[in-house]
């Protein structure tokens, strides 16, 4: 009776304290701005089953993934036993469920998973503390995060050991027909412990059995109330976090509605009645309350596994940025702000801010927006959205972006390109396109439209393809292929302006939206339906972000277009490149961003080349270092440049050619080859250039 009372009090206290913790975290998350994420519920359920329940991302690192699944499944299965413990605890019975058929088989199964949990936790402890796996020992993992992980792992081992010891002692007492220890039959795994206990007197066995029982249940109660203060809270939040995670392509960044209204007013597309702009408090985020609730939920869901930091090109090359730290900082700041607000709801100002006091400018501006972190995260945290919002604040509220990046943005505003080239020179490259010494006339959309013609495709050249010396050659070669295929196309010529990608990724939403709306106006005026581009950044922004601003087009990257032409047998390639050894670099905005890994490889196969994959390829490919505005600024301090790291990886394949499908990647990899003085040994080409070689 007394034990039932103690148990009931402990259970009630656990439920009360756990409820309080959940309420606290819920209140903290709700400090974020409201956002409606109720769309596409079936796609969300599917993703949740796949990623959160199915643990699909964990298996990308097979050993760690398997161990994690062992703990995860074990945690669920072992809790079946908890049901009986609850009943016994409250009613004072012993093994209340032993009447059900196959009871000892069920308990044996639970024991199997308990052993799996022990094996996995001990392996995790060895990896962390003896093998010292690098990602667990980054600066942000010092002190509490490291202790927290060890506390949890050791607790799980102790809990499972207590469970197995309890069963072994219980079984001996059953065999001795002692007291109320009813015979349930043997439990398969704890049978192996029995020889260690068999010489003990019954009183000692009762102590072991009771101690194991109480240790197990009180341990679980303590564990439950520890979890909300630990990274292990992800065992609860992983499910809603994945459910509400981004369904759009990884490289999609939202269009700020408040800016849209201002830009529309500035362009005369919207009447300024005051209502459109009155709600703007700040642009971007300086502190946790400036984010939406999903970002704050992300912060509480982080498992601190470090998979994101492990693949981050900035971190790999010794820069200060660690995406895990960005998320942990957000959570730590939210804890402080949330607890303060809960104590004093009127307190508007809280000392410090996430930006500057937790996350430095150096970290913020080291990001290439490559999305390797979001791809790697097993619980679908969007680290890039935190960085983007902070950059928006830094750029638009503080004017604190790195000056070369500001200069590139100013050029976009003044010249429609990130360089200081006149806008009127944008189509000059087209005057130099030749095939077999014969000039090719590149059709201009405005001229054709004036003649009443509507070409099927618009070739979106982009700023790099229009002005950059090396990228202009790619544009010219792609034109040769289009002409060879007799494609009905045109370019916008000087009516094209920068897509705004660099502006958007550097946090300058105003300039981006100005550019986007200007371009959309031009495109829509020509009733453009289909767009092809050689630039994955422009492909991404036109396809995913312009569409929300009224620019809805079928957009293809040139590799997708060429791949389709080959599949449809419209493009037959000769054997000019047959047998050449080639390594292909996946551009982040095409591959990880928009899931296109196959089309470029299919073209290479059609060319008959031998593809030597780099160790990091497809979704795991290392960024070239150019994205997120990095190409227009100095790299942040580190051990080496990202482009050198990636070029080294390409050089190690000992290929004759490094091929890519992005003008920015081309610049970075060309610089990398020059940096290593390997220009004689290896050449850099775009896929369009290789195709152009194989049609001549
Ligand atoms: S987007 Fe790329 S560079 Fe930026 S934090 Fe993530 S992994 Fe690092
Ligand atoms: S953000 Fe995701 S990948 Fe990074 S440490 Fe947290 S859970 Fe792991």
Residue 438 sits in the same domain as residue 400: no
Residue 591 sits in the same domain as residue 552: no
Residue 527 sits in the same domain as residue 439: yes
Residue 315 sits in the same domain as residue 391: yes
Tokens of 229: 């203060």
pLDDT given for residue 40 in this prediction: 94
Residue 200 has pLDDT above 90, yes or no: yes
Residue 280 has pLDDT above 70, yes or no: no
| Nearest-CA residue for atom 4 of ligand 1 | 367
Q: Is 323 in the pocket of ligand 1 (CB under 6 A)?
A: yes
Residue 274 has pLDDT above 70, yes or no: no
Residue 307 has pLDDT above 90, yes or no: yes
| Nearest-CA residue for atom 3 of ligand 2 | 377
Residue 392 sits in the same domain as residue 421: no
Percent of the residues in the chain that have a pLDDT greater than 70, as a whole number: 98
Average the pLDDT over 579-598 and give the result.
97
Domain count, the chain: 4
DSSP state of 491: B
> Which residues lie closer than 8 Å to 619 by C-beta, 6 or more apart?
375, 591, 592, 597
Q: Which domain holds residue 621?
A: 581-693
Residue 421 sits in the same domain as residue 400: no
Percent of the residues in the chain that have a pLDDT greater than 90, as a whole number: 77
Instruction: Give the range among 309-323, 425-439, 619-633, 660-674 with minimum mean pLDDT.
Output: 425-439
Are 533 and 560 in contact by the 8 Å Cβ rule? The answer is no
- Rounded CA-CA distance 184/654 in Å is 66
Q: pLDDT tens-digit profile of 525-538? A: 999 999 999 999 99
Residue 239 sits in the same domain as residue 331: no
Residue 179 sits in the same domain as residue 291: no
- Rounded CA-CA distance 113/107 in Å is 10
In a domain, 148, yes or no: yes
| Nearest-CA residue for atom 8 of ligand 1 | 312
| Nearest-CA residue for atom 3 of ligand 1 | 367
Are 436 and 442 in contact by the 8 Å Cβ rule? The answer is no
Burial of 56-76, coded b for 16+ CB within 10 Å and e otherwise, reads: ebbeebeebbebbbbbbebee
pLDDT given for residue 252 in this prediction: 97
pLDDT given for residue 142 in this prediction: 87
pLDDT given for residue 101 in this prediction: 86
Residue 589 sits in the same domain as residue 531: no
Closest-CA residue to 241 (of 299, 319, 162) = 299
Residue 384 sits in the same domain as residue 421: no
Residue 174 sits in the same domain as residue 282: no
pLDDT given for residue 259 in this prediction: 92
- Ligand 1 centre to CA of 683 (Å) is 28
Q: What is the CATH number of the domain that holds 423?
A: 3.40.50
pLDDT given for residue 232 in this prediction: 85
Are 372 and 623 in contact by the 8 Å Cβ rule? The answer is yes
pLDDT given for residue 496 in this prediction: 98
Residue 191 has pLDDT above 60, yes or no: yes
Residue 692 has pLDDT above 90, yes or no: yes
Ligand nearest to the CA of 317: 1
In a domain, 183, yes or no: yes
pLDDT given for residue 186 in this prediction: 84
The three-point CA angle 61-65-67 to 5° equals 135
Q: What is the CATH number of the domain that holds 372?
A: 1.10.1060
| Nearest-CA residue for atom 6 of ligand 2 | 302
In a domain, 206, yes or no: yes
In terms of pLDDT, which residue wins out, 26 or 79? 26
In a domain, 349, yes or no: yes
Average the pLDDT over 365-371 and give the result.
98
Q: Report CA-CA distances (Å) from 525 to 286, 498, 550.
A: 39, 18, 12
- Ligand 2 centre to CA of 386 (Å) is 13
- Rounded CA-CA distance 528/535 in Å is 18
Residue 272 has pLDDT above 80, yes or no: no
The three-point CA angle 46-44-338 to 5° equals 135
In a domain, 571, yes or no: no
- Ligand 1 centre to CA of 345 (Å) is 35
Question: Helices 144-175 and 103-129: crossing angle, nearest 10°?
Answer: 150
Q: Is 314 in the pocket of ligand 1 (CB under 6 A)?
A: yes
In a domain, 279, yes or no: yes
Residue 66 sits in the same domain as residue 98: yes
Burial of 560-572, coded b for 16+ CB within 10 Å and e otherwise, reads: bbbbebbeeeebe
- Rounded CA-CA distance 225/7 in Å is 16
- Ligand 1 centre to CA of 374 (Å) is 8
In a domain, 326, yes or no: yes
Q: What is the mean pLDDT of the chain?
A: 93
Q: Which of 227, 243, 259 is the last residue of a domain?
A: 243
- Rounded CA-CA distance 492/464 in Å is 15
Q: Is 621 in the pocket of ligand 1 (CB under 6 A)?
A: no
Q: Is 313 in the pocket of ligand 1 (CB under 6 A)?
A: yes
Ligand nearest to the CA of 589: 1
Residue 281 has pLDDT above 70, yes or no: no
Tokens of 406: 């500001």
Q: Which of 376, 405, 434 is the last residue of a domain?
A: 405
The residue to mutate among 65, 304, 332, having the most atoms of ligand 2 within 8 angstroms of its beta carbon, is 304
Closest-CA residue to 121 (of 79, 152, 82) = 152
- Rounded CA-CA distance 644/648 in Å is 6
In terms of pLDDT, which residue wins out, 302 or 4? 302
Q: Is 630 in the pocket of ligand 1 (CB under 6 A)?
A: no
Q: Is 324 in the pocket of ligand 2 (CB under 6 A)?
A: yes
pLDDT given for residue 144 in this prediction: 86
Average the pLDDT over 230-249 and give the result.
93
- Rounded CA-CA distance 122/368 in Å is 37
What 3-state DSSP class applies to 658?
strand
Ligand nearest to the CA of 306: 2
Instruction: Give the range among 218-222, 297-301, 495-499 with minimum mean pLDDT.
Output: 218-222
Residue 694 has pLDDT above 80, yes or no: yes
| Nearest-CA residue for atom 8 of ligand 2 | 305
Q: Which of 566, 595, 625 is the last residue of a domain?
A: 566
pLDDT given for residue 169 in this prediction: 94
In a domain, 181, yes or no: yes
- Ligand 1 centre to CA of 396 (Å) is 21
């Amino acid at each position: 009776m007394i034990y039932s009372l103690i148990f009931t009090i402990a259970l009630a206290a656990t439920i009360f304290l756990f409820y309080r913790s959940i309420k606290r975290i819920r209140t903290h998350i709700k400090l974020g701005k409201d956002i409606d994420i109720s769309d596409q519920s079936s796609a969300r359920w599917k993703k949740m089953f796949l990623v959160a329940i199915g643990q699909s991302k964990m298996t990308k690192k097979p050993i760690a993934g398997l161990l994690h699944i062992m703990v995860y499944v074990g945690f669920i299965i072992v809790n079946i036993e908890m049901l009986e413990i609850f009943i016994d605890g409250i009613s004072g019975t012993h093994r209340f469920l032993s009447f059900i058929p196959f009871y000892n088989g069920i308990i044996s199964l639970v024991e199997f998973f308990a052993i799996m949990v022990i094996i996995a936790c001990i392996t995790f402890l060895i990896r962390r503390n003896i093998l010292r796996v690098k990602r667990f020992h980054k600066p942000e993992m010092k002190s509490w995060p490291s202790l927290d992980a060890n506390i949890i792992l050791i607790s799980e081992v102790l809990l499972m050991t207590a469970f197995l010891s309890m069963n072994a002692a219980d079984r001996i007492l059953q065999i001795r027909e002692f007291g109320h220890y009813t015979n349930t039959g043997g439990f398969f795994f704890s049978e192996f412990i029995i020889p260690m206990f068999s010489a003990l007197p019954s009183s000692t066995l009762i102590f072991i059995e009771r101690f194991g029982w109480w240790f197990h249940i009180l341990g679980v109660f303590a564990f439950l109330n520890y979890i909300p203060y630990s990274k292990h809270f992800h065992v609860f939040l992983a499910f809603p976090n994945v459910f509400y995670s981004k369904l759009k392509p990884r490289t999609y960044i939202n269009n700020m509605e408040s800016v849209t209204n201002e830009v529309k007013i500035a362009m005369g597309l919207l009447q300024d009645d005051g209502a459109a702009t009155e709600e703007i408090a700040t642009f971007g985020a300086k502190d946790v309350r400036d984010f939406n609730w999903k970002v704050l939920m992300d912060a509480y869901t982080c498992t601190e596994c470090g998979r994101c930091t492990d693949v981050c090109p900035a971190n790999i090359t010794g820069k200060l940025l660690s995406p895990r730290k960005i998320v942990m900082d957000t959570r730590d700041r939210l804890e402080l702000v949330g607890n303060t607000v809960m104590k004093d709801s009127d307190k508007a100002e809280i000392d410090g801010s996430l930006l500057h006091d937790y996350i430095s400018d150096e970290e913020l501006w080291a990001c290439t927006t490559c999305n390797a972190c979001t791809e790697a995260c097993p619980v679908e945290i969007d680290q890039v959205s935190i960085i983007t919002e902070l950059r928006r604040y830094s750029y638009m509220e503080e004017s604190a972006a790195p000056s070369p990046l500001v200069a590139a943005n100013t050029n976009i505003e003044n010249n429609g390109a990130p360089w200081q080239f006149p806008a009127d020179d944008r189509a000059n490259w087209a005057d130099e396109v030749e095939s077999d010494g014969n000039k090719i006339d590149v059709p201009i959309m405005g001229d054709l439209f004036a003649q009443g013609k509507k070409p099927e495709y618009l070739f979106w050249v982009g700023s790099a393809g229009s002005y950059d010396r090396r990228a202009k050659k790619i544009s010219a070669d792609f034109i040769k292929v289009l002409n060879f295929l007799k494609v009905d196309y045109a370019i916008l010529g000087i009516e094209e302006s920068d897509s705004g990608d660099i502006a958007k990724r550097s946090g300058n939403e105003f300039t981006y939206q100005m550019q986007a709306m200007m371009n959309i106006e031009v495109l829509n005026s020509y009733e453009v339906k289909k767009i092809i581009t050689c630039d994955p950044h422009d492909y991404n922004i036109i396809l995913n972000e312009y569409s929300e601003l009224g620019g809805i087009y079928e957009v293809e990257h040139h590799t997708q277009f060429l791949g389709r032409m080959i599949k449809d047998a419209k493009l037959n390639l000769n054997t000019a490149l047959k047998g050449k050894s080639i390594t292909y670099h996946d551009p982040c905005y095409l591959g990880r961003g928009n899931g296109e890994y196959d089309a470029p490889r299919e073209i290479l196969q059609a060319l008959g080349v031998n593809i030597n994959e780099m160790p990091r390829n497809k979704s795991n490919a290392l960024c070239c270092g150019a994205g997120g505005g990095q190409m227009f600024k100095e790299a942040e301090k580190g051990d080496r440049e990202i482009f050198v790291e990636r070029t080294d990886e390409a050089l190690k394949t000992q290929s004759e050619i490094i091929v890519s499908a992005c003008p920015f990647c081309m610049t970075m990899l060309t610089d990398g080859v020059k940096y290593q003085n390997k220009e004689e040994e290896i050449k850099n080409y775009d896929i369009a250039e290789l195709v152009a070689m194989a049609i001549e």
